Structure 1
Amino acid sequence: MGFMSNGRVNIVITNRKLRYTYHKSNKMEGLQEHGELELPPSVLEEGKIMDKALFSELIRQLVHEHKWKRKKLLFAVPDDTVVIRQLEVPAALSREEAKGYIETQLGNSIYLPFSNPAIAIDFLEKQVDKQHVLLFAYPKEKITDYVDVFEQQGLRPVVADLTSLSVYRYYMATRQETTQHHILLVHWNEDALVLTAFKENKPVFTRNMKVEQATEEVDMERTIDEYLIEINRIIDFYQYSITKGDAQIELLLLSGDYPGLPILKQRFTESTLVVEDFTNGELPSKYTDVLGLAMKNEV
C-alpha cells in the first residue's frame, strides 16, 4: 500500500449524504476508491453540524475502515449559505491587498447576511482605475466545525471548496471544448436545489432552495414542475438583470443525486437550451461533485 501514501481523501457533504473518493493524484486516473454514506436525520441541518458527536463517530469509522489516518483531505460544504457577489476595488491592489481591503469594508459598505465570514476572492476584468472582483463568503463557524471533526479523527484538511465549483470543475475537465459562455448549473440533491449561473466560466449568481422529499412518482413530477418555474425565473433574471439583456443562458448542466433529474431533463427537450448531464461517466452521475473536488489543486 506504500504507493498510496501520497494520496488524498475527498469528501462532499450534503444534509443527507456524504460522498467520498480516495485519489493518489488530482487526475481522474488517480481514483482508487469511492463510496457514499447515508447520514442519519438531524445530523446536519442547512449545512451546519447539529449532532457533532454522531458526525464525529461516522467520520472515525470511515477513517478506520479505509485507513485514512494522516491523509490530506479536501472537502466541499453545502452551498446553502454561500454568498457570491461582484465588487470593485482599486486597480493598484494585489490579490492579497484586495482581500484585505474587502475585509475592512465588511459591515461598512459591504453587507453580508451573517457575521464572521470566511472569504475568498477571484479577479475578473480590470479597468484603468478599478479591478472587478468576485467575492465568495461563507459562515466561518460552519467550516471550522467540519475542520475540528476531521482533525480530531486524524485527517489533515487542506482545502475547503463549494460543491457547485467542484461540479463545474469536473465539467470543464471532461469536455473537450465548450462554445457556451452563459451556463446555469442545476445541482439538485434530495435535500436542496442550488442554481449557479456561470459567465465566462466564473460564477456570478447562486440561489439555494430546500427540497421536500417526494414519496411517489406523481409527487415527484409535481415537485419538479414547481421548481421548474423557479429555474425559468432564474434564466430570465440572468438575461434581463445580470446581463441587462445582452446575453442569455445557453446551456443547462444537470447534476446531483435527486432521482427526478431524468424527468427534469425531459421537461427541457422542447426548449432551445442545450441540456447536459453526467450520465455517461465511469461512476454514477451523483459522484460528479466529489470527482470535481478531487481535481482541485491544493493551493
Structure 2
Amino acid sequence: MAFTLITAKNRHANLVINDHSIRFVELLRSHPLTIHKWREHDLPPGIISGGKIADYETLSNILEECIEDWKIHKRDLRFLVPDSLVIIRKISVPKDIQDDEMQGYLYLEMGSSIHLPFEDPVFDYFPLKTTEKTKEILLFAAPEKNVLEYANLFATLKLNPVAADISPLSLYRLYDYLGDTSEKEILFTVQFDITSVTIAIFEGTVPYVMRQFPLPFESNKWEIRRGETANEYVYNGNENEMLLQIEDIQKEMNKLMDFYKYSLNNGKKEITLILLNGDHPMLPFIFRELKENSTVPVEILTLKGNARIKTASIPPGHFLALGLALKEVK
C-alpha cells in the first residue's frame, strides 16, 4: 500500500471544545493512518457552560495561546458542535418535495409544522425512507447563534472553519474505521466525560437518538495533572458521590434502551452492542459495571492491536478529535 502524505498545506486542525477542555488532533498521513500530534488545554470552570460560551474574552485568549503553541495558525478547521446544543429528530415531509427543494422546505417550515426548542436553527438532514404519502428524514439542528459564535471566534483568530460535526458521528466514524461495524448492528454509544455523558443510538450508520446528561463538576474536587500532549484528571472528592452519579447515568441508559425498544419499535428492535468511550478517570470501573449489569454486550473503544492505525498511544479523551480528523479519510 502506498503512503498517502498529508502536507502542511492541507493538514486540517481538528478541535473539540467542551466545558472543561480544548483538544486538538492533526494527522500526518491517512494510509496507514498516522497521527502527527495531539494536544490538550484545560479550561477553568465558567468559561464554557453547558456548551455555550460564557466568557468570550478569556476563551479567545486561551485559544490564541493554543493556536500559537500548536502551530495551527491559518489552518482549515473542523470542530464539534457541543452536544448540549444539538437536536436530532425524525420528521415526515410530503412525498412530492424534491431533494433539491428539501433544504428550502425545511427552512420555511421551522416554527410552524416543525417545532424546535430554539429559534433560528442551523440544520442538516439525512433521508430515511419514502412511503406512499411522505418522506421520512432525520433532522439535525442547533441554535445558529451559538454555533456562529464559535465559528466567528475561530475566524477572528485566523482559523478557517470548513466543517462542523457532532460527537456521536465522530465516535462512530472512528469505530467504523477500525473495522468493527456490522450492517445489522444497533449500536448504543456512550461518551462518558467528566462534565457530561452523551448517549446515541445508531441503526447502521445513522444516529436516530441522541441525549446528553450534564454531570456536576466542582473544580475543588478535581486535580488536573498537565502533560505535554494530554492531561490526566484525578477525582479527590467523596467516592460515594461519584458512584451515585455513575449509577444515575446507568439508570438513564436503561430508560433510553427501553424507550428505543418498546416506544419507538414496539419491541421489534433492541440494542445489540454498547460502545463506551470518554475521558472520565473511572472509565475502567464504568466499563466493568456495565458488563456486569447489562444483558447487552459491552465494548470499550480501543486502538490497541489494530493494524489500520500506526499511532495507538493517543488517549481516549482525544478519540472524538481523531474521529473528526477521519471525516475526509476513505
- With structure 1 as the length reference, what TM-score do the two structures score? 0.93
> 1:74 & 1:142 partners in 2: Cα distance?
16
Q: Does 1:268 align with 2:290?
A: yes
The one of 40, 54, 58 equivalent to 2:58 is: 54
The one of 74, 82, 89 equivalent to 1:70 is: 74
> 1:77 & 1:249 partners in 2: Cα distance?
26
Identity between Structure 1 and Structure 2 (%): 30
Alpha-carbon contact 2:86-2:142 (below 8 Å) kept = yes
| Residue type at the aligned position of 2:257 | I
> 2:181 & 2:244 partners in 1: Cα distance?
35
Q: CA RMSD in A?
A: 2.0
> 2:127 & 2:141 partners in 1: Cα distance?
15
Alpha-carbon contact 2:119-2:143 (below 8 Å) kept = yes
Alpha-carbon contact 2:175-2:181 (below 8 Å) kept = no
Find the counterpart in structure 1 of residue 3 from structure 2: none
> 1:102 & 1:77 partners in 2: Cα distance?
20
Find the counterpart in structure 2 of residue 277 from structure 1: 300
Shift of 1:95: 3.4
> 1:175 & 1:92 partners in 2: Cα distance?
38
> 2:255 & 2:176 partners in 1: Cα distance?
26
Structure 1 residues 30 and 8, CA gap change in structure 2 (3 angstroms): farther
| Residue type at the aligned position of 2:131 | Q
State the SS of the aligned residue for 2:327. Answer: coil
Shift of 1:287: 1.4
Q: 4+ residue stretches of structure 1 with deviation over 6 A? A: none
State the SS of the aligned residue for 1:268. Answer: helix
Structure 1 residues 257 and 248, CA gap change in structure 2 (3 angstroms): same
Alpha-carbon contact 1:26-1:296 (below 8 Å) kept = no
The one of 155, 178, 197 equivalent to 1:174 is: 178
Find the counterpart in structure 2 of residue 187 from structure 1: 191
Q: Does 1:114 align with 2:118?
A: yes
Structure 1 residues 40 and 272, CA gap change in structure 2 (3 angstroms): same
State the SS of the aligned residue for 2:301. Answer: coil
Alpha-carbon contact 1:95-1:123 (below 8 Å) kept = no
Q: How does 1:186-205 map to 2 (within 5 A)?
A: 186-205=190-209
| Residue type at the aligned position of 1:276 | E
Shift of 1:28: 6.8
Q: Does 1:290 align with 2:321?
A: yes
Choose 43-52 or 198-207, whichever is displaced more: 198-207
> 1:209 & 1:89 partners in 2: Cα distance?
30
> 1:13 & 1:89 partners in 2: Cα distance?
34
Shift of 1:16: 0.8
- What is the number of residues matched between the two proteins? 297
Q: Which segments of 5 or more consecutive residues in structure 2 lack a partner in the other structure?
A: 1-5, 218-234, 305-311
Find the counterpart in structure 1 of residue 38 from structure 2: 34
Find the counterpart in structure 2 of residue 158 from structure 1: 162
Shift of 1:131: 1.9
- With structure 2 as the length reference, what TM-score do the two structures score? 0.84
> 1:36 & 1:27 partners in 2: Cα distance?
25
| Residue type at the aligned position of 1:37 | H
Alpha-carbon contact 2:39-2:70 (below 8 Å) kept = no
Q: How does 1:190-269 map to 2 (within 5 A)?
A: 190-213=194-217, 215-269=237-291
> 2:30 & 2:117 partners in 1: Cα distance?
34
